[in-house]
Amino acid sequence: MSKPILERATGFATYRHRHQFRRDGVTPYVEHPKAVMAILRDEFAVRDPEVLAAGLLHDTIEDTATDYDAIAEEFGSRVASLVAALTKDKRLPESRRDREYFAQLSRAPLAAKICKVADTLHNLRDSDTALRPKARRKGLKLLRIFKGVPALAGPLGLLREEMRR
């Protein structure tokens, strides 16, 4: 019998991010995806194991040598599609990259949107004084593009509350 999806996703993310660290240069990067998954599960009450797995894997395409196919093969097309929706296209010039990314998020499935709110919430909580303004700007963009999505009212409320701190 194979391991449960969250156990496999944790191992996959840990391996793929194994040489990366958070901005402090000390904390293993994988602690960020683990925190995103915990926010989804514990604060946003997400119970869908595939959405939780996407939270764990949300940076693997963007920040490692992992591609969509590797995720689809290991976790299925739904998880891979959610991770792809959470991935900036680094082939685009930087001047277009964020604009295209936020347009992509606005069209993304609800599951991807809730993962992005959890990601942004953790980045805000984990940011130092110098990086907090950048994290707040991203939060403001999410509040604008996800405005009016009833299922995101609670998560966006937590994001808004964190941004006021």
Q: Angle, to 10 degrees, between the axis of helix 49-57 and the axis of helix 31-38? A: 150
Catalytic residue among 63, 98, 126, 162: 63
Candidates 145, 131, 137, 144; CA nearest to 163 is 137
> In the annotation, is 73 catalytic?
no
Distance CA 57, CA 52 (A): 9
For residues 31-57, one letter each, b for 16 or more C-beta atoms within 10 angstroms of the residue's C-beta and e for the rest, the string is ebbbbbbebbbeebebeeebbbbbbbb
Is 63 annotated in the active site? yes
Tokens 């996800």 belong to: 146
- Tokens coding 68: 């969509």
Q: 31, 50, 62, 74: which is the annotated catalytic residue?
A: 62
- Confirm if 112 and 79 have CB atoms less than 8 A apart: no
Inter-helix orientation angle 110-126/94-107, to 10°: 130
Active site residues: 62-63
